[in-house]
Amino acid sequence: MSPSFAEHPQMTVTEFEQIARTAPETVTLEFIQGKLEVKPVPDGDHDEITMWVLRQCMQQRPELALYPERGLAVERYRAGRARPDGALAPIGTFAGAGEWADPKGVLMVLEVTSHDADTDRRDRKEKRDGYAAAGIPVYLLIDREHCTLTVHSDPEAGSYRHSPSLPYGASVDIPDPVGITLDTEHLKGFAG
């Protein structure tokens, strides 16, 4: 079995941040498990789903904001860099923060899958593990391929202990510290 990128990264975090700073605005870069990742450009349905979650969060928890594409230092020892589709945190959490903020204070991260070959590895595995290792309480994955919402919660020792998946149309409870319920009937319009 070959060693993982996390054990032998392609570059240092400092080198990655230097590359990310000089990348054109049309390219979004992440550093996940020791390797450089190019985040796919979202399509219109991806944006609509993200905005739907944002509205749900604002209506139910107006003291929180869902920050889109917020750069976070994730994984163990903050050795990774991710830009989740949304980072839910109390308003003002990122005031004065640099491009790659400490995830302390983030209650939930949101990812909406893209239609690309790397989604399974990136969103369903690597980012999940990185967010858990960073101690982010909830990772909400909206999986457009499977028409499901997976609520990863209760991180412990680098893994989420609970990960129920529910189909579009279900009532989805997002546990504390988020404490909201998503009526996902609206998402059925994005199936298929």
Percent residues over pLDDT 70 in the chain: 95
CA 172, chain centre distance (Å)? 18
Taking a C-beta distance cutoff of 8 angstroms, is the pair 187, 142 a contact?
A: yes
Report the sign of the C-alpha dihedral through residues 158, 164, 165, 166, in that order: negative
CA distance 88 to 138: 9
pLDDT per residue as tens digits for the range 130-174: 999 999 999 999 999 999 999 999 999 999 999 999 999 999 999
Domains and CATH numbers, the chain: 41-190 (3.90.1570.10)
pLDDT of residue 31: 84
Q: Is the peptide bond before 164 cis (omega within 30 degrees of 0)?
A: no
For the segment 175-190, the average pLDDT, to the nearest whole number, is: 96
pLDDT of residue 91: 97
Does the pLDDT of residue 38 top 90, yes or no? Answer: no
| pLDDT band at 3; cut points 50, 70, 90 | very low
Per DSSP, helices labelled H in 26-175 are 44-60, 119-121, 127-133
Does the pLDDT of residue 2 top 60, yes or no? Answer: no
pLDDT per residue as tens digits for the range 71-107: 999 988 788 999 999 999 999 999 999 999 999 999 9
Does the pLDDT of residue 1 top 60, yes or no? Answer: no
